[in-house]
Homo-oligomer: A and B are copies of this chain.
């Protein structure tokens, strides 16, 4: 087997473009130097349109989970009531973070693989007027569901005084979002998914309403204090030492986004999703999520006549291609293919063609090339 080749098709971390890898190799600079200030100064404005906001987008040196925690500790306090809309493992994480801070959590669970129903949320929040926050996951990485955050934001803004807080980790940069127009109060994402970087940076934006809430919120916080980040931003710097090599990389990622055009980035992701879905449908292999709930960044497949682990191991062993398994209740039930960031329709065709080979290897009867053909047709249509 060809040494030194690997295909990373998990729903993040995603592959790094060569020019980004190169940019991250630039010599280190002092984080309070003019050079660093110039770099930091230009990044946030370029993140705004990707978030669909006129507000500052804060760059945090941490994983996505720290950004979720940042959203919690800056907006709600021990004893406050919040509603968490749980559609999978990452909705569940919001619950755990809130509980760690003594926040009273209401949870509204949606079966894994389905999207949140805004009408149920409307009914719930009407009955619970004291909610301070409603937390949702845009793309639920564990199931490949893209939740209707636009509709959810409308419901929360209309029927509640709660802030609407969204985890966009596994989709922002790959799907459209209009934070200001839709009424999202806090939106966070990480660097290792559609942003084509290693993990280590997170991006957080807040609405005016949310910034106001933060001023008076009593939850103790230091590294995760969003206000500190906004204050530092006035001076083109960060409150704490930033991961400069990742910022070098981010600068290049934003150039690549500019080169392709964000609308084209979104179209490419949707196309890749459709190609993957049609390929499995052509083989009568079941998908976990229905069409209208599917995320353009990750697809979960729920086979009935072959073992998920056998497929994953064969792909790894023969092609050094990695896909993800299921988490928690979906362990061994599904596999997940990441198609976000540095991933093209040509990569999707390759992924499908080797999955077909691997399925034959593990004994599944199928017509070779049929899934590739279905994906090719979608590409050409």
Q: Which residues of A contact B (CB under 8 A)?
A: 1-5, 7, 17-21, 25, 256-257, 259-260, 264, 268, 319, 321, 342-347, 349-350, 353-354, 356-357, 360-361, 367-370, 372-373, 376-377, 379-380
Contact = CB atoms under 8 A, between A and B. Distances in A.
A349 B346 contact: no
28 contacts: A1-B260, A1-B264, A1-B344, A2-B260, A2-B268, A3-B17, A3-B257, A4-B18, A4-B342, A25-B25, A319-B344, A319-B345, A346-B354, A349-B349, A349-B350, A349-B353, A349-B354, A349-B357, A350-B350, A353-B372, A353-B376, A360-B376, A360-B380, A368-B372, A368-B373, A368-B376, A369-B370, A372-B372
Contacts of A2: 260, 268, 342-344
Nearest to A341: B2
Nearest to A377: B368
A17 B1 contact: no
Nearest to A17: B4
Contacts of A343: 2
A315 B281 CA distance: 27
A344 B2 CA distance: 6
- Copies of this chain: 2
Contact of A376 (B3, B349, B357, B380): B357
A367 B379 CA distance: 15
B4 A256 contact: yes
Contacts of A25: 25
A264 B367 CA distance: 29
Contacts of A256: 3-4
A290 to B, nearest CB: 26
A356 B344 contact: no
A34 B259 CA distance: 46
A235 B104 CA distance: 76
Contacts of A268: 1-2
Given A319-B345, A347-B350, A349-B349, 13 more contacts: A1-B260, A2-B260, A2-B343, A3-B17, A4-B20, A5-B17, A18-B21, A319-B344, A321-B346, A346-B354, A349-B353, A349-B354, A357-B380
A358 to B, nearest CB: 10
Nearest to A25: B25
A367 B377 CA distance: 11
Contacts of A342: 2, 4-5
Contacts of A349: 349-350, 353-354, 357
Which of A343, A357, A370 is packed against the most chain B CB atoms within 10 Å? A357
A259 B4 CA distance: 9
Nearest to A18: B4
A176 to B, nearest CB: 18
Contacts of A369: 369-370, 372-373, 376
A312 to B, nearest CB: 15
